[in-house]
Amino acid sequence: MRLRVTAVATAVTLAVLIALALLTSRMIGPLLVRSADDELAPVLSLAVEAVAAGKSPAGGSPNIHVHVLDTAGEPADGQPAPVLSYADVRVLKASTPVLRLTDTPPTRWQGTVITAPDGSQRLVVVGTGLPGYSAAHGGAIRWLLIAAVIVAAAGALATWFAVSSALRPVQRMRLAATRLGAGKRLPLPTSHDELRALAGALNDLLARRDEAADRLRRFTGDAAHELRSPVASIRVQAEVAVRHPDPELSQEVLTEVVHESERLSALVDGLLTLARSDAGEVPPAEPVDLTAAAQAAAARCPDDGPEVVVHTPTGLCWVWAAHNEVDLVLDNLLRNACRHASSLITVTVIAGPTVTRLAIDDDGSGIPIEHRQRVFDRFYRVQDDRARSSGGTGLGLALVAEVVRRRGGTVRVSESPEGGARFLVSWRTTSVS
């Protein structure tokens, strides 16, 4: 970065200085000519007044020549003719100055035509040499280019040290980052500038990283613990069947193995769903008829379980989600209610202009207030409950909370009018045109 910034700054500085040097060198010639014009103007004015009065003009300074010519450019004052071409005389008669660069040194002439007392037309001209005119051009451009290079080099050094000084806190921050241990954070600079903002942003990133790593460790540990239980049960049952090849016992063992395999399959499916959600894999949303989905989910409940009653509004009720997500929410909540209800489960769909709600009530033992905030955590089970003895994986409610949350909805648990638990899910209402 130092090299890039220094190179760019030096290149820009050098280009600007070279442009200024070329421009300045071109201005030296006109500056010398204007200085000569300022000296010639008063001398020409005095000479014109003298000739108009019929007098001989006074001689100029040693560096300024005064001549009186006729309109053809021939001397009319007895002096040698000045070095002027016919074209120069014509220009001077128009009161336009002439610069003769071919002379050595270059000469600047001014002139004007006046009428002498005898009625004759006279051309009064004054001129002066411009010594050093050509040398000034070459010397100026040479020294200005040298000055441009020196200034650019000085600017490069200053830029290098300035950038190095500005990046020194970044270097310290980088070294501090390489020495950070688990849970540590970068020290914040005392100055309230961009570096402090960068350090704060990096600390926020580290905090999110540590939080994600901690969640991953807990999730991995919980998953390993949950997977070990059905796998160990299947292994024990298989070992019993191998050691005691009794047909009646084998049938009982196979039944238990099937039960544990189903529990293991449900657990793996739940883990995969949560992993995809954590990775940001969200299926595309579309309008879903919550009324039809609730009725279909109620029909999938086992016949030997509690009675399921569905209350839905008249007509269709559309929510913005995915079909498999709505089915997952309904199946998990109804499965949870079936495990804990005594005899009745009520499913209610409440349509609204912006939010549509789904309420599932059971007449079971309910969920204590102190556990209601954590029942949606992964692998969390109420201590006196409700899941382990009945074959739950501890992931159903976590899946419900996750798929509802990623669609901008909410899910919460409270007490049901039937005395058990009420799960209330909210989705965004949509319409189908």
- The predicted-structure confidence for 123-181, as pLDDT tens digits, reads as follows 999 998 887 776 766 677 777 788 888 888 998 888 888 888 877 777 777 777 777 77
pLDDT score of 388: 43
Helix (H) or strand (E) holding 358, with range, is strand 355-362
Highest-pLDDT range among 74-83, 246-255, 290-299, 382-391: 290-299
What token pair was written down for 28?
Answer: 């030296």
Average pLDDT, the chain: 82
- Mean pLDDT, rounded, for 233-254: 76
> Which parts of 57-193 fold into alpha helices (H)?
86-93, 133-178
Q: pTM of the predicted model, to two decimals?
A: 0.48
In the predicted structure, residue 408 carries a pLDDT above the cut 80: yes
Tell which residue, 323, 351, 334, has the closest CA to residue 428. 351
pLDDT score of 383: 54
Tell which residue, 210, 219, 265, 213, has the closest CA to residue 380. 219
pLDDT score of 358: 94
End-to-end CA distance of the chain: 56
pLDDT score of 412: 93
pLDDT score of 76: 86
In the predicted structure, residue 387 carries a pLDDT above the cut 60: no
DSSP code string of 166-197: HHHHHHHHHHHHHT--TT--PPPPSS-SHHHH
pLDDT score of 54: 82
Give the integer Cα–Cα distance in Å for 369 and 422.
12
Percent of the chain with pLDDT over 70: 88
In the predicted structure, residue 384 carries a pLDDT above the cut 50: no
What token pair was written down for 214?
Answer: 């901690």
More confident of the two residues 122 and 213: 122
**pLDDT class of 276 with cuts at 50, 70, 90:** low
302 contacts: CB under 8 Å, gap ≥ 6: 338
More confident of the two residues 40 and 214: 40
- Mean pLDDT, rounded, for 107-132: 88
**pLDDT class of 385 with cuts at 50, 70, 90:** very low
In the predicted structure, residue 279 carries a pLDDT above the cut 80: no
Give the integer Cα–Cα distance in Å for 293 and 324.
10
More confident of the two residues 248 and 18: 18
* Neighbour-count burial of 65, counting CB atoms closer than 10 A to its CB (0-12 exposed, 13-18 middle, 19+ buried): buried
DSSP code string of 10-56: HHHHHHHHHHHHHHHHHHHHHHHHHHHHHHHHHHHHHHHHHHHTT-P
**Single-letter amino acid, residue 138:** G
Q: List pLDDT tens digits, range 306-352.
A: 999 999 987 788 999 988 889 889 988 998 899 889 999 999 999 98
Tell which residue, 393, 406, 401, has the closest CA to residue 425. 401
pLDDT score of 201: 84
pLDDT score of 361: 94
Q: List pLDDT tens digits, range 4-43.
A: 888 888 888 888 888 887 777 777 777 788 888 888 888 8
